[in-house]
Amino acid sequence: KQEVTQIPAALSVPEGENLVLNCSFTDSAIYNLQWFRQDPGKGLTSLLLIQSSQREQTSGRLNASLDKSSGRSTLYIAASQPGDSATYLCAVVTTDSWGKLQFGAGTQVVVTP
């Protein structure tokens, strides 16, 4: 069974510092990996989707990398801002699970002014 882990569970950084969020998974037979943001009391907002054939995806200040062989993905957020404070979740779809997302528990990020 696929296990998805996000470490650390919580992270606090000063404004302007780059954020590095980690996601690891046990089964490398994935179809894709998706990063989400969740604000308190809100739904999930999709940030980036990486297909299994891709090594990275970029959107603005966000960059996500994928290394299937080592079972890792990293989300980089450049020049963090207080508005980046949220919980970040990664989720994978394995090739035998057809569209069903397996989530990590998330990393709670606080960016202090």
Partner 1 sequence: NAGVTQTPKFQVLKTGQSMTLQCAQDMNHNSMYWYRQDPGMGLRLIYYSASEGTTDKGEVPNGYNVSRLNKREFSLRLESAAPSQTSVYFCASNRDDAEAFFGQGTRLTVV
Site residues for partner 1 per CB under 8 A: 31-32, 34, 36, 41-46, 49, 89, 91, 93, 98-101, 103-106
Do 90 and 34 form a contact (C-beta atoms < 8 A)?
Answer: yes
Cβ nearer to partner 1, comparing 3 with 17: 3
CB of 86 to partner 1, least distance (A): 14
Burial class of residue 96, CB neighbours in 10 A (0-12, 13-18, 19+): exposed
Q: Are 76 and 63 in contact (CB under 8 A)?
A: yes
Q: Considering the complex, what minimum distance in angstroms separates the CB of residue 82 from partner 1? A: 23
C-beta closer to partner 1: residue 89 or 109 = 89
The three-class DSSP label of residue 42 is coil
Nearest approach, Cβ of 30 to partner 1 (angstroms)? 10
